[in-house]
């Protein structure tokens, strides 16, 4: 492994991805079984900056075929509440799989298996689809996006989609008693634990259309026209983060993974082509650290939530904020609670999602995992003030 990362600029996702891949010889993969893991877990069309563009996946599949790989498949596990068949159709993965005759796998439909993490600090084992045993190599093909919990989501974070069903939510609900002086959260540590056993063998980052701000699904599209490829995904993520305007050392799950010897994030220690790649840097608006910034009359009680409930909350606030006025409390603010570990909220707090069920006697509970924003509004209206 050379720790080589290649950045390519181009308007056409297929041609740019193919150009980047030509810098890597994958002949050792000849005859081997390859799983392609894109980001296709949500109902979003190509070019929205939410899911991997199918032309990037197609370029990878064609390149792998040229290298003479054996079995090849595309696999994804959708977020809870998203119909996988519909997601595969909307994202373009279904059409691609039919046209190229590549198997498309809903990773949640088979049986699970456990993987132990002997050196895990917060995770000692994880549950993954047993079908992963079929494959020799995994290629992570994420979108270049910000993330409300991890600041960025790139190839390492994309592997969280290989967790089986509700296991994905469990990573958001972990607690870490030790303090990270550099701002790391339990989820960051969990991702670095996961990477010890689910480290992809190659990364192809789709930066053609990214997302900034309230990612991974409620942010603003960010056109980059970039592809980042790397034979060490942690190195590729470091370069991707830098192109987004973030210092890799300040992305906690990248730093923690580097400290565990999974790769380099110091850019001067990575072989990056071209050397003047930073001419393509475009700073992404980071996710807000507090919702009180864009919504100053909101108090969010968030303890152990996942991005699914947070996404529902963002959509609710953007679309229906004015209709939440009847639920202001004595401090003239709207209080909303999400997450499994809520333990101290004022009476009358709006509680979103099944994880908040234990506090329902203290507030207005809206069930769902997660409920969609319109369902939250209807439930609040039916319960009155």
* Averaged pLDDT of the chain: 93
> What is the pTM assigned to this prediction?
0.90
| Domains in the chain: boundaries | 4-280, 298-383
| Residue 181: band (very low, low, confident or very high) from pLDDT cuts 50, 70, 90 | low
| Residue 183: band (very low, low, confident or very high) from pLDDT cuts 50, 70, 90 | low
What pLDDT, on the 0 to 100 scale, is given for residue 178?
Answer: 63
Share above pLDDT 90 across residues of the chain, in percent, rounded to a whole number? 77
What pLDDT, on the 0 to 100 scale, is given for residue 24?
Answer: 96
Number of other residues whose CB lies within 10 A of the CB of residue 99: 10
Provide CATH code, domain 298-383. Answer: 3.40.50.12280
Q: Does domain 4-280 have CATH number 3.40.50.620?
A: no
Same CATH fold assignment for domains 4-280 and 298-383: yes
| Residue 134: band (very low, low, confident or very high) from pLDDT cuts 50, 70, 90 | very high
Cα 146–152–157 angle (5° rounding)? 120
Q: What is the pLDDT of residues 29-42, one digit of tens each?
A: 999 999 999 999 99
What pLDDT, on the 0 to 100 scale, is given for residue 295?
Answer: 79
Tell me the C-alpha distance between 63 and 68, whole Å.
9
């Amino acid at each position: 492994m050379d720790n080589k990362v290649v950045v390519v600029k181009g308007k056409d996702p297929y041609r740019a991805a193919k150009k980047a891949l030509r810098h890597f010889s994958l002949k050792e993969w000849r005859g081997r079984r390859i799983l392609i893991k894109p980001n296709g877990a949500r109902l979003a069309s190509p070019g929205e900056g939410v899911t991997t563009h199918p032309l990037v996946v197609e370029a990878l599949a064609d390149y792998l075929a040229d290298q003479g790989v054996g079995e090849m498949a595309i696999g994804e596990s959708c977020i809870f509440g998203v119909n996988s068949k519909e997601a595969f159709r909307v994202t373009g993965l279904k059409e691609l799989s039919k046209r190229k005759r590549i198997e498309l796998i809903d990773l949640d439909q088979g049986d699970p298996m456990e993987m132990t993490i002997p050196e895990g600090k917060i995770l000692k084992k994880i549950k993954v689809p047993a079908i992963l045993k079929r494959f020799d190599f995994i290629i992570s093909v994420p979108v270049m996006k910000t993330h409300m919990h991890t600041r960025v989501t790139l190839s390492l974070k994309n592997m969280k989609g290989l967790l089986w069903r509700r296991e994905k939510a469990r990573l958001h609900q972990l607690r870490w008693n030790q303090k990270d002086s550099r701002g790391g959260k339990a989820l960051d540590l969990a991702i670095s634990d996961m990477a010890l056993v689910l480290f992809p063998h190659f990364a192809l980052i789709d930066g053609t259309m990214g997302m900034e701000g309230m990612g991974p699904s409620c942010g603003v599209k960010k056109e980059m026209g970039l592809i980042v490829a790397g034979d060490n995904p942690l190195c590729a993520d470091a370069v991707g983060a830098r192109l987004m305007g973030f210092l890799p050392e300040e992305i906690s799950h990248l730093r923690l993974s580097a400290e565990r010897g999974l790769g380099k994030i110091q850019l001067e220690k990575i072989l990056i082509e071209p050397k003047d790649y930073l001419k393509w840097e475009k700073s992404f608006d980071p996710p807000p650290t507090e919702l009180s910034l864009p919504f100053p009359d909101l108090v969010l009680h968030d303890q152990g939530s996942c991005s699914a409930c947070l996404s529902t909350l963002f959509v609710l606030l953007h679309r229906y904020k004015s209709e939440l006025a009847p639920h202001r409390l004595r401090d003239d603010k709207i209080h909303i609670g999400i997450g499994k570990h809520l333990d101290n909220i004022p009476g009358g707090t709006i509680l979103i999602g099944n994880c908040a069920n234990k506090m329902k006697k203290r507030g207005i509970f809206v069930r769902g995992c997660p409920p969609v924003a319109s369902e939250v509004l209807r439930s609040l209206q039916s319960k009155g003030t």
